[in-house]
Amino acid sequence: MNERSAQDVAKEAAGRHAAGYVEPGMRVGLGTGSTVHWTIVELGERALDIVCTATSVQTHDLATSLGMTVVTPDEIGRLDIAIDGADEVAPGFDLTKGGGAAHTREKIVAAMADRFIVVVDESKLVPELGPFGIPLEVLDFAPGVVAAAVMALGAAEVTTRDRRSDNGNLIMDAHFGPIGDPVTLAAQLSAVPGLVEHGIFPGAMVERVVVAGTDATRELINQ
């Protein structure tokens, strides 16, 4: 059996820590990713009386395998809390999400929640969004047209993944380099016809970020 890395141990600690914000009776949004995986495991082990909605098929399957009640967003309505990961976190709490191709569902669920808590390892903290690239969910109808429109906004490159989203759409990644004004770029991307959703999440959505460090778990609170 391979020994776990310090980063893996830290991710588990932070993911389990974030589960502490969930209380019995809550309606909970469950995110997708390697750190929030441990949030879901912890919630399953605690067997709280909660109702959940999931941001991906992967998360739905994990939660139900642990005996948790998982329903659709329409069935659950407003959420008390959503907990999810991120691929980048900037100092102003702006996020890049979508490495797991689930950012459209993740954004819907985050917007449904009164509290949105992000859990990451410290490698995801960046001075500016951009190095990871911006994931895009795109309709099959005219992906070349969409890519050209994104290039016109300043992307140096737009690539297409082999993997599709759980919604059946294409997943592209737009590489802009460092993004000085993510709010403006987010609005510009949202206005591109055929682009279903992009992976920029505004910092105003985020209550706090739980950060997995190799020494300790810490929190960044958006005040």
Sequence ranges of the domains in the chain = 6-126+202-221, 134-198
Over residues 112-124, the pLDDT tens digits come to 999 999 999 999 9
Find out whether 88 and 126 touch, Cβ atoms under 8 Å. Answer: yes
Q: Annotated catalytic residue: which of 12, 42, 88, 106?
A: 106
| Placement of tokens 């998360």 in the chain | 59
Over residues 46-96, the pLDDT tens digits come to 999 999 999 999 999 999 999 999 999 999 999 999 999 999 999 999 999
> Can you spell out the DSSP letters for 79-100?
BSEEEE--SEE-TTS-EE--TT
Do 134-198 and 6-126+202-221 fall under one CATH topology? no
Give the separation between CA 101 and CA 137, rounded to whole angstroms: 8
- CATH fold of the domain at 6-126+202-221: Rossmann fold (3.40.50)
The amino acid occupying position 154 is: G
Predicted pLDDT of residue 46: 94
Write the secondary structure of 2-66 as one string of H (helix), E (strand) and C (coil): CCCCHHHHHHHHHHHHHHHHCCCCCEEEECCCCCHHHHHHHHHHHCCCCEEEECCHHHHHHHHHC
Instruction: Kindly report the CATH class assigned to 134-198.
Output: alpha beta
Reported as a pLDDT band with limits 50, 70 and 90, residue 126 is: very high
Active site residue 106: yes
Helix (H) or strand (E) holding 147: helix 143-152
